[in-house]
A and B are shown apart, each in its own frame.
Chain A
Amino acid sequence: MEYIHMVYAVFAPLIFAIIIPFLSRIKHKVHTGWLILPVPLLIFIYFLQFVGSDFETARQTIDWIPSLNIALDFYLDGLSLLFALLISGIGTLVVLYSIYYLNKEEQLGHFYTYLYIFMSSMLGVVLSDNVFVLYTFWEFTSLSSFLLIGYWHYREKSRYGALKSMLITVLGGFSLLGGVILLTIETGTTSIRGMIEQADLIVNSDYFLFILIFLLLGAFTKSAQFPFHIWLPDAMEAPTPVSAYLHSATMVKAGIYLMARFSPIFSEVPLFFIILSIFGLVTLAWASYMAVRQTDLKGILAFSTISQLGMIMAMLGFGTSYAVFAAVFHILNHATFKGSLFMVAGIVDHETGSRDIRKLGGLMTFMPISATLAIFGTFSMAGVPLPFLNGFYSKEMFFESALDLGGYSGSFIESLITVIPIIAVVGSIFTFVYSMYLFFGTFRGEYKESELPKKPHEAPFMMLVPPMLLVIGVMVIGLFPNMFNQALITHSADAVYGDEVAKDIKFWHGWDSPAFQMSLIVVAAGILLYLTKNKWHHIYRVIPGRFNFNRVYDWMVEKIESVSNRITTAYMTGSLRLYMILILTAIITITAGAILISDGFNFEVQDLAPITAPEVIVASIMAIAAIGTTVARNRIAAILILGVVGYGLAILFVMYSAPDLALTQLIIETVTVVLFLLCFYHLPNLTTNNNSIVHKGTNVLVSIGYGVLMLVIGVTAYNSRFADTISNFFMENTYELGGGHNAVNVILVDFRGIDTLFEVAVLFGAALGIFAMIKLRQDKGAK
């Protein structure tokens, strides 16, 4: 195709996100939202030009990291186009709505910056063909969603909700990365197109199960599927435009998108069908059941979103041509009515000051336009069989596809197939109940003036425009369901199904159509349940009762923190003795283990010097003195005994032909003993070791272990010489090259002079340190 400027479309909001902080400085003159409203509108118009029955896919590639085969590879097919239109279209409406929702006193710069980062990344997710680029944008949506949920960061619940959504979606994001990496390894390409072409290879690979689970985890966390749905209700702390945009129309559908995108690979796999259908239906039923229990308008809508996402996910799992078409159709429908409902809920909140459905009621007289909009939204959501509501069609198609499953064998799958329509109906009944509850609870019934903080009144007209446009969308699709078929929806469904899907949406199925009968059952049972709601409402005390997935989450977060804290405090006690024991034990085990494994011990008696009496005597005295230091009770005795060891060593140096060493050792030992005596004068006497037996035992064990280890190493090393000494060179060249006769001294100052230089530096440093320690006293006054 000619017009390939997708990269501008994707990055335009991001570029504007950089400019917005400067634009928002123009305060009190014009709302920042007006200045940037054209951006999503232009993107919407740009994508609109692709719509048409002669649709062709388009592609644009820009190198990013060629060495890793990562490119900004934007690929537009029907599915991407549908999502791109939703993102930019609803984005435009949400920006318009937010202009009236947020007043100029708010930090608008922050809001629109986050929102536009989100818009860019969402467009990136749906348009990327490169899995790593997709992952990058994916994480950006998590990040910007986190920022938007925590927009009112001075509220504790906002911070809690933001953190929760971050933890859960990033968990899924990492697992998606794992899946993506495995896919890349398996197929050798980073392109989704390329992967779909190698579907057989992936399905038959050893990693297939991991790939599937990783991708599912990513999609389920993002799209709030059971049991990862818990972050979405808490994300309702975000400003309502955000809830309408991210948490109903776009971001939560990223997981759906991912599944739809990869379904050409997985659709033949029974496991994919099983997992997606089960989780989708459980999500549908559980969330619609829980929605009736909520008292917050946005809480109801959040659970309703979860439930509708479950329905779409289940249809993707069904994987039949009809179900895929229905899923894609419902993505569009859900975005229209749910977006409008969120906006109406925001208007109610804005104009009455409360979102609590127990305080609301009888608002129809005050807010007729909002109420009218809400009627269409809620009735469409409930799937009321009226031919101008798009929700009705998708619900019927859902039932029809639930009834028309097959092509799989196996007793489990067969029994699953029989259960699916029943769960679908049950979930839809509760959908009907909460939809009615939402509308009638808010707009009909008794008006409770005393409970509301504000006197309710209709919203400004411009605030009503965005939900109005969405409701018009609901009705247009409702009245002319086949209008977008050729131009848009079939292309999307083709992309998901991987084959031609040509379907017409029927207005009327006839009374004997089972799907229609199911719809009637839903309506009848729904009305009955809604009217008797107060009678059976106490069932929530039994199911779920006190059980709550939020508690599981809180418990896990709290446990992870406390357990890791406990582990850390268990060994980071601040006791040096313990650290030493740990270090030494590690040395002993690792070294001894290495010796044992490699069979390295080598005891031979060869090339040894003869044993003579004087040295043995000196050595014995030293040994006794060394042992003496450990038992000495008297500090002066301990110091003097240590001196005996030092002088003994000096004598050994004499015996072993090392005059320089003996000299140095004598002097140093003397100075050290003097220093010890100087310090001992100031230090308290040695106390008796009133340690427990265990303490002492460990000390003895570790020290003996270390000594034995060194003995083994010494003996082995001595007997394992592989090369001759290089000292002959030093002895021969001491005079020729060094100009001296004393080889040790020549080595120190000539051959290896650098050592000496830094040894001098060490002494200098020690001296400076000692001086500083004694002279500089800043705390507690000089002593």
Chain B
Amino acid sequence: MEIIMIVLASILFTTGVYNLLQKQFLRIIIGTALISHGAHLFILTMGKLKRGAPPVEDYGVSNYADPLPQALILTSIVISFGVTSFLLVLAYRTYKLNNTDNMEKLRGLNNE
């Protein structure tokens, strides 16, 4: 099962990177979202899958899923959410100010 999940994560990375290389701001944000999904899945997979009950102590259960990757992913989800929402508003403002969402046109000034 882990192999399948790694393949899935790789597909998420591939499509994410492909979106990242596009011109439109919206596509780039979609790309970053896909990459972060892929990364979360990756972390979870690395911590072994389906090895027991949810990591909530319960009477009579001896096998639990690994709680550490879950904690890491939880942190990561929140952070990537913060970044994604920031990027979205940035895209919105950029479009309002420059009337374009084409990254090839948003190159800054020549004398920078």
**With A683-B91, A743-B56, A783-B97: A730-B68 Cβ-Cβ less than 8 Å:** yes
> Which of A63-71, A471-479, A501-509, A653-661 lies on the face that meets chain B?
A653-661
Q: How far is the CB of B93 from chain A (nearest CB, A)?
A: 5
Q: List, in ascending order, chain B residues with CB within 8 A of A704's CB.
A: 14
A-B contact number at CB 8 A: 268
- Tell whether A671 is near chain B: CB-to-CB under 8 Å: yes
Given A672-B84, A765-B82, A731:B50 Cβ within 8 A: no
A741 contacts B6, C-beta separation under 8 Å: no
Verify A658–B54 contact, CB threshold 8 A.
Answer: yes
Give CA–CA (A622, B54) in the complex, Å: 23
For A645, give its contact among B34, B64, B92 (CB under 8 Å). Answer: B34
> Which of B11, B18, B44, B75 is within 8 Å of A658, CB to CB?
B44
Give the contacts of B17-57 with A (CB-CB under 8 A). Answer: 17-27, 29-30, 33-34, 37-38, 40-42, 44-57
User: Which size class do B's interface residues fall under?
Assistant: 35 or more
Is the pair B5, A748 in contact by a Cβ cutoff of 8 Å?
no
Q: How far is the CB of B64 from chain A (nearest CB, A)?
A: 5
Least CB distance from A166 to B in Å reads 27
Q: A682-B92, A743-B64, A756-B75 are in contact. Are A714 and B49 (CB under 8 A)?
A: no
Q: How far is the CA of A517 from the CA of B41 in the complex (A)?
A: 96
* A577 interface hit (Cβ, 8 Å): yes
Give chain B residues whose Cβ lies under 8 Å from the Cβ of A580. Answer: 20-21
B9 touches A747 (CB 8 A): no
Beta-carbon nearest neighbor of B58 in chain A: A741
What residue in chain A is nearest B96 (Cβ atoms)? Answer: A783
Q: With A629-B34, A747-B71 as given contacts, are A762 and B79 in contact (CB-CB < 8 Å)?
A: yes
How many residues belonging to A are interface residues under a CB distance threshold of 8 Å? Answer: 100
Closest beta carbon of chain A to B54's beta carbon, Å:
4
Of the residues B23, B78, B91, contact of A759 by C-beta under 8 Å: B78
Q: How far is the CA of A609 from the CA of B65 in the complex (A)?
A: 12
- Is A679 touching B20 in the complex (CB atoms < 8 A)? no
Docked-complex contact B65 and A752, CB < 8 angstroms: no
Among B42, B81, B90, which residue has its beta carbon within 8 angstroms of that of A668? B81
CA distance A655 to B101 in the complex (A): 39
Chain A nearest CB from B67 CB (Å) reads 4
CA distance A646 to B77 in the complex (A): 11
* Given A576-B103, A710-B42, A744:B21 Cβ within 8 A: no
In the complex, which residues of chain B have a beta carbon less than 8 angstroms from the beta carbon of A748?
71, 74-75
**Interface residue? A769 (CB, 8 A):** yes
Classify the secondary structure of A's interface with B.
helix
Q: Mark B69-112, 1 if CB is under 8 A from A, else 0.
A: 01101110111011111101111110111000101100110000
Contact indicator A718/B45 (Cβ below 8 Å): yes
B83/A773 in contact, CB under 8 A:
no
CB pair B45–A766 under 8 Å, yes or no, is: no
In contact, B19 and A744 (Cβ under 8 angstroms): no
Task: Please pick, from B47, B55, B92, the residue contacting A679 in the complex, using a CB distance under 8 A.
Answer: B92
The residue in chain A whose Cβ has the minimal distance to the Cβ of B82 is A766
In the bound complex, how far is the Cα of B4 from the Cα of A623, in angstroms?
A: 11
Instruction: Decide: A642 near B33, CB < 8 A? Known: A672-B84, A714-B6, A747-B68.
Output: yes
Chain A residues in 8 Å Cβ range of B95: 682-684
Q: Are A616 and B24 in contact (CB under 8 A)?
A: no
B4 CB → nearest A CB, Å:
6
Is B57 within 8 A of A575, CB to CB? Answer: no
A570 within 8 A of B: no
Query: Does A664 touch B at the CB level, under 8 Å?
Result: yes
Contacts of B84 in A (CB 8 A): 672, 675
Given A658-B70, A731-B67, A672-B81 contact (CB < 8 Å): yes
The answer on a CB contact under 8 Å between A714 and B85 is no
Contacts of B6 in A (CB 8 A): 711, 714-715, 718
A671 CB to closest chain B CB (Å) equals 7
Tell me the chain A residues, 90-104 only, with Cβ under 8 Å from chain B.
none
What chain B residues lie within 8 Å of A752 (beta carbons)?
Answer: 71
| CB neighbours of B85 from chain A (8 A) | 671-672, 675, 766, 770
A703: which of B21, B54, B66 is its contact (CB, 8 Å)?
A: B21
For residue A659, give the distance in angstroms from its CB to the closest CB of chain B.
5
Q: What residues of chain B lie closer than 8 Å to A714, measured between beta carbons?
A: 6, 9-10, 42, 45-46
Q: Is A608 an interface residue (CB 8 A)?
A: yes
Contact between chains at A683 and B26 (CB < 8 Å): yes
Contacts A689-B22, A702-B17: A657 and B75 contacting too (C-beta < 8 A)? no
B81's partner among A574, A615, A659, A671 (CB-CB below 8 A) is: A671
* In the assembled complex, A532 has its CB within 8 A of some CB on chain B: no
For the complex, what is the distance from the CA of A747 to the CA of B23, rounded to whole Å?
A: 41
> Considering residues B22, B23, B67, B103, which has the most beta carbons from chain A within 10 angstroms of its beta carbon?
B67
Please tell me which one of the listed residues B26, B44, B70, B89 contacts residue A744 in the complex, with CB atoms under 8 A apart: B70
A657 touches B50 (CB 8 A): yes
How far is A715 from B9 in the complex, measured between Cα atoms in Å? 11
Q: Which residues of A contact B10 (CB under 8 A)?
A: 707-708, 710-711, 714
Kindly list chain A residues whose C-beta atoms are within 8 Å of the C-beta of B78: 664, 668, 759, 762-763
Instruction: List B contacts of A450 (CB < 8 A).
Output: none
Query: Does B83 contact A766, Cβ atoms closer than 8 Å?
Result: yes
Q: How far is the CB of A727 from chain B (nearest CB, A)?
A: 5
Residues from chain A with Cβ under 8 Å of B27 in the complex: 638, 686
A contact residues around B8 at 8 Å (CB):
619, 622-623
Given A623-B11, A780-B97, answer yes or no on A652-B23 (Cβ-Cβ < 8 Å).
no
Q: Are A747 and B54 in contact (CB under 8 A)?
A: no
Nearest residue (CB) in B for A763 is B82
7 A-B interface contacts by CB (under 8 A): A619-B8, A655-B50, A658-B44, A659-B56, A661-B73, A714-B10, A715-B6
Binding site for A on B (CB under 8 A): 1-27, 29-30, 33-34, 37-38, 40-42, 44-58, 64-68, 70-71, 73-75, 77-79, 81-86, 88-93, 95-97, 101, 103-104, 107-108
Residues of A near any B CB (own CB < 8 A): 573-577, 580-581, 584, 605, 607-612, 615-616, 619, 622-623, 626-627, 629-630, 635, 638-639, 642, 645-646, 649, 652-653, 655-661, 664-665, 668, 671-672, 675-676, 678-680, 682-684, 686-687, 689, 691, 699-700, 702-704, 706-708, 710-711, 714-715, 717-718, 725-727, 730-731, 734-735, 741-744, 747-748, 752, 755-756, 759, 762-763, 765-767, 769-770, 773-774, 779-780, 783
